[in-house]
Structure 1
Amino acid sequence: DEIFQAYEILSQQYNMKEADVAVRSSATAEDLPDASFAGQQDTYLNIKGKTELIHYIKSCLASLFTDRAISYRASRGFDHLKVALS
């Protein structure tokens, strides 16, 4: 509900029924002194509508568990289940 409310408010601010948005990660382990997780998770652009928005939010969260992301965390000793996205 919070996501949909925020999306509706954003769309209204731009006088649009459904604004185009980007879905991207903000991970708890980004930009550490010994590791940079920037670019490890997927980003989606030009997302329009509540159905697409939820779909791509789920896809972004799932990108925590791509081979690339898992390998990067493993090589630096990070617990896979302790890295979170917002």
Structure 2
Amino acid sequence: MSAPEPTTAAAPAGGGRAAAWERGVAAARAYLAREGTLAGVSRSHIERIVHEGQEHDVKLGVWLTNQRSRRTKLAADRLAVLAELGVI
């Protein structure tokens, strides 16, 4: 008798750091398109977006604060996106 093959669990939809980054960027772009600047985003602001067919409430103010405080640890491609958005 052979042992059953192990199954791999699929990652939850919308989970993970990469997906959180994408949602944050999408929320920042949506806010920027609507308001023209990200300078006035309060820490408590929540931006509702549709990402990969699902609605998400992104805590945009918290996300922006975290990106600014972590900028020395971010990859160059992410820094470029933040610079393009005017975050840093």
Q: TM-score, normalised by structure 2?
A: 0.29
The structure with the largest alpha-carbon Rg is 2
